[in-house]
Amino acid sequence: MPVITAVLGDITTQEVDAIVNAANTAMRGGGGVDGAIHGRGGPAILRDCIARFPNGLATGDAGWTTAGDLPARWVIHTVGPNYSAGQRDRSLLEACYRRALEVADELGALSVAFPLISTGAYGWPRADAIAAAIETIAAAKTRVTEVRLVASAGAVYKQVRALLWVHCPPPVGTGTVGSLFEREPIQFSLRGDSYLWRELRARFAGTPLPDDWFTLRTLISDAIEQVVGEPLTNRESKPWHDNTAAIYLPEFDPGHGMSAGAVHLPWWAHTGVPILLDRYAALRDSKALQEN
């Protein structure tokens, strides 16, 4: 499985073996990512498209051209389904990622940068499009070692990163703060809190455990505050089922359910953080027993 990373930036500037273009069936350039790639890559890409794809390309299929003036070596073009026009078969969207990786293997490309296919003018619901991308790439049998999912907007980047950490959680080191998050609490039933749990796990994957619980609590509380935008103590006196106790974060919204994207600060103040502190205390007690 390739290492998948979320990237905030411009796909046309990615220094990889191949960048993927969200093309249309005519394969003659267009708007959005397609227009940006043709514009920055220059006329060589269009000339190659005309020569290699005189009859265009079918939805779900992929093929390659030169990258022209782009820093990549190749452009892999794939045609996503047009959700707005009624093309709503998810397998077509998944085929775009699968076929693009197959073409990358034919080329010998080891690093590939993808946009979020079909999420622009084609209107595919973003959360499902991100999930389809991650699930398909993670399951692909490919020699590609690095895949970048490139988002040009900060909010989209955060959503890609949140879903990526659900499907492909990064490894955490032994004796790190991240290791406290290895097991999810059985109390989880709220989606936003589950996403935040995974984000904190990834943030602290390499952070050594501090020497005291107060420092640990400060680390975790500060991180939560950075994500949600307000102190953990602001709403801790409210019951978890109070709607005003929840903070909606779009990046944690999987696209369905009334509680989608909701982070409940009282749960973190009275349940989530205490669970982590209890695990920390148990580790310290165990270490003390081993030393004695």
So which residues are the catalytic ones? 34
Biggest CA-to-CA distance, the chain: 77
Nearest to 14 by CA among 79, 102, 74, 95: 74
Beta pairing partners, 64: 76
Measured CA to CA, the distance from residue 133 to residue 191 in angstroms comes to: 20
- Kindly give, in sequence order, each residue whose CB lies less than 8 Å from that of residue 55, ignoring residues fewer than 6 positions away: none
Please enumerate, as own/partner, the contacts of 216-219 that have beta carbons within 8 Å and a separation of 24 or more: 216/177, 216/276, 216/277, 216/280, 217/273, 217/277, 219/177
Q: Is 215 exposed, middle or buried (0-12, 13-18, 19+ CB in 10 A)?
A: exposed
> CA quadruple 213, 214, 218, 219: dihedral positive or negative?
negative
Dig out the tokens for 13 from the structure: 């500037």
d(CA 53, CA 40) in angstroms, rounded, equals 20
DSSP bridge partners of 7: 150
Query: At residue 246, what is the residue type?
Result: A
Q: Position 87: which residue type? A: Q
